[in-house]
Structure 1
Amino acid sequence: MSTAPQLEEPVEPVDEPVDGRTARAVRTRDGLVDATIALVEEGDLRPTAPRIAERAGVSVRSVFQHFDDLDSLFAAMGARVVERLAKLIGPIDPTAPQAERVAEFVRQRCLVSEAVTPINRAAILQAPGSSTIGRQFASGHGFVRAVTEEVFEAELEAAGPRRQQLLDGLIVAGSWPTWNLLRTLEHRSVEEATAAVAGMVDLLVWGAGR
């Protein structure tokens, strides 16, 4: 009598508990990141492990089962925010008319700056003690710099020896600190702040090469 078929029966069910645990772990980890983002966006710029755990509906112990420390959790939050921001930006044709490039550059920079405001405010508080957050800031700045150079390549070339000054001005005009100053200290609305950034960028590129 052959018993071969019986050997294959338990093979498939063996992997199911492992897959289930993995899926639950991913959901818990994602839930902790989402909870941290939600707290920060509501104004809690220094969320603690107990507050994050309560918001995610898990134990405090779960926070440190999925992250080595809060710095690791905040770094994961930063990575998630970058994924969200990627949906707000797109390529800008460097050969398009200047007015079109200015309008799209300003639109994208202002959208991103407004969206990232609460996260940046929290990250600034954490950055002094976090090399990971510092690297994320540096990476973001590098991206903005590269985009600015690509979009305004013609104007930067025309600026000649003042190329660096023009590039510096464009980076500052489209930066989050400038946006935060306009929105917070100058009390501008989103529309007013956007118009202010557009005016700065327009003046800068209009004067390129003069």
Structure 2
Amino acid sequence: MPSADMDHSDDLETQDGRRARRDRNKIAVVDAYLELIREGNPRPSVADVAERSGVSHRSVFRYFADKDELARTSIERQEAAVIPMVAIEVDPDRALADRIDLLVQRRLALYDAIAPVARLTRSLAPLQPILQDELTRSRLFLRVQVKRLFAPELSAMSKTRAASTLAVLDVLCSFEVAELLRADQDLSIDRAADALRDAVTAILS
């Protein structure tokens, strides 16, 4: 005769199985949302996401309160995936040309990896404080990264000039400038890299 302990164990296994299935389905919905965005659909409908993920339309709203929450969760998943691309570990004493080249390569590679989702983030941020805060934090991180990377050159300038130089470098290496070069002006990644490299070099030399 089954014991109470066995029944309890079965209940826990059932709950764990349901939780695991729910987690898998939730990830499938998020991944489907991201895939559709990368394929050129900037605002996937719930029907589109349900069809791509294999999850029912009704289930999508069991996992997410609304489309805004789905978008936020998807953006967070994308950000976690590209963290290794954002980090730049390099000695500030390394040759200036090497540091410039590394920064330009990383920022353009990051642009190519995140462009569709980054556009979504920027379109939703004014209406969603959580996304706006995350965008602000991300921009601050990237600005500090530039400041550290070119600390030797900036420290040799007056305080006023260093501040204005950092501001210009931050803009030059931003997503928005990469978007103009790659999407608006249709430059290849090599031509965009040459343009950015020349501009940053001119400012710091």
Which segments of 5 or more consecutive residues in structure 1 lack a partner in the other structure? none
Question: 1:3-27 CA deviation, whole Å, 9 max, x = no partner?
Answer: 9x95544443231011101101111
Question: 1:171-205 CA deviation, whole Å, 9 max, x = no partner?
Answer: 01110110111112222011111111111111121
Between Structure 1 and Structure 2, whose CA radius of gyration is higher?
1
Distance in 1, matches of 2:24 and 2:13, equals 16
Distance in 1, matches of 2:102 and 2:29, equals 35
Question: 1:24-62 CA deviation, whole Å, 9 max, x = no partner?
Answer: 111111111101100100111011212111111111211
Distance in 2, matches of 1:7 and 1:122, equals 52
> Cα RMSD over matched residues?
1.8
TM-score (norm 2): 0.92
May I ask how many residue pairs the two structures share in their alignment? 203
1:43-192 matches, cutoff 5 A: 43-90=40-87, 91-160=89-158, 161-192=160-191
SS of match in other structure, 1:93 = coil
Which residue of the other structure, out of 7, 10, 15, is the alignment partner of 2:12? 15
Question: 1:46-87 CA deviation, whole Å, 9 max, x = no partner?
Answer: 112121111111112111111111111111111111112112
Distance in 1, matches of 2:110 and 2:61, equals 31
Distance in 2, matches of 1:92 and 1:62, equals 46
TM-score (norm 1): 0.90
Q: CA deviation at 1:121?
A: 1.9
Q: What letter corresponds to residue 182 of structure 2 in structure 1?
A: R
SS of match in other structure, 2:93 = coil
Distance in 1, matches of 2:146 and 2:101, equals 13
Please identify, of 171-180 and 44-53, the stretch whose mean Cα deviation from structure 2 is larger.
44-53
Distance in 2, matches of 1:96 and 1:168, equals 22
Please identify, of 124-133 and 55-64, the stretch whose mean Cα deviation from structure 2 is larger.
124-133
Q: CA deviation at 1:129?
A: 2.1
Please identify, of 45-54 and 29-38, the stretch whose mean Cα deviation from structure 2 is larger.
45-54
Question: 1:86-124 CA deviation, whole Å, 9 max, x = no partner?
Answer: 122332222222122111111111111121111122223
1:198 maps to 2:197: yes
Distance in 1, matches of 2:47 and 2:134, equals 25
Please identify, of 85-94 and 148-157, the stretch whose mean Cα deviation from structure 2 is larger.
85-94
Instruction: Calculate percent identity across the aligned residue pairs.
Output: 30
Which segments of 5 or more consecutive residues in structure 2 lack a partner in the other structure? none
